[in-house]
Amino acid sequence: MSLSFIHDETPTEEVDRREAVVAGLADSVRALVDATIRTTVDDDEVRAVQAEVAALTERLRAAQLPGPAGVRYNSEGRSWSWGNAVVGSSNAVAPPLEVQHAGDGRTSYAEVVLGAAYEGPPGMVHGGVSALLLDQVMGETASANNSRIAMTGTLTLRYRHPLPLGPVRLDCQVTKDADGKITVQATIGENLPDATPAVEASGLFVVPRWAR
């Protein structure tokens, strides 16, 4: 199966400008998601807010893409995936994560604050959310910061202890890279100097034959 990346000749300057605008909206929608979980206002007020949310949705749908955002690139080498479930700047499901890649391209890290929307056990980050974030960081690092395509082959996660909601940090490194197969190790834990990893991950990422 091939994947449809979209060649989009929007100039980088215009991409950056538009991204700031939609990212601003997505930030506000993230706050609305949090408030929807935590609100204790009365039923009538919840219903009144719901009607207004629906009206705003219709305004945004006045002109829209026919489907998901996809992954786009232009001839200047800029690529963007604003809809990505982890890093997408226009996607309010995404925290969003900003992955920091080291100069050698083999290590990376990310810091983010996870709030009420990412809960599993009471007060704790959902174990599947840790898997979701780790998969993205590991995939990006395996793909050398998106300079090649690397798909998840296998992913193994060891859960050492529960991870409280709040500031978390992910660390990642490529430990082997040969013949289109890339082995990656990563952790997620509390963002504290002396924190031990809550979850340890090991993954094998594969450059598809059609993309080598």
Q: Which residues 87-146 are close enough to bind a second copy by CB under 8 A?
A: 88, 90-93, 115-124, 126-129, 131-136, 139
Tell me, residue by residue from 171 to 210, as one string, x for binding to a second copy by CB under 8 A and - for no binding. ----------------------------------------
Least distance to a second copy, CB of residue 103, Å? 26
Q: In whole angstroms, what is the distance from residue 170 CA to residue 185 CA?
A: 11
Two structure tokens written together for 73: 């690139």
Question: Under DSSP, is residue 104 helix (H, G, I), strand (E, B) or coil?
Answer: coil
Tell me, residue by residue from 12 to 51, as one string, x for binding to a second copy by CB under 8 A and - for no binding. ------x--xx-xxx-xx-xxx-xxxxxxx-x-xxx-xx-
User: Is position 6 an interface residue for a second copy (rule: CB under 8 A)?
Assistant: yes
Q: In whole angstroms, what is the distance from residue 117 CA to residue 119 CA?
A: 6
Q: What's the DSSP call for residue 127?
A: H
Sequence length of the chain is: 212
Two structure tokens written together for 105: 């391209």
Two structure tokens written together for 197: 């990893």
Q: Of 105-113, 157-165, 167-175, 177-185, which part binds a second copy (CB under 8 A)? A: 157-165
Least distance to a second copy, CB of residue 77, Å? 18
Q: Of 65-73, 101-109, 167-175, 184-192, which part binds a second copy (CB under 8 A)? A: 65-73
Question: Under DSSP, is residue 107 helix (H, G, I), strand (E, B) or coil?
Answer: strand
- Total number of residues that touch a second copy (CB under 8 A): 90
Listed residue (88, 76, 77, 203) closest to 138, CA to CA: 203
Least distance to a second copy, CB of residue 72, Å? 9
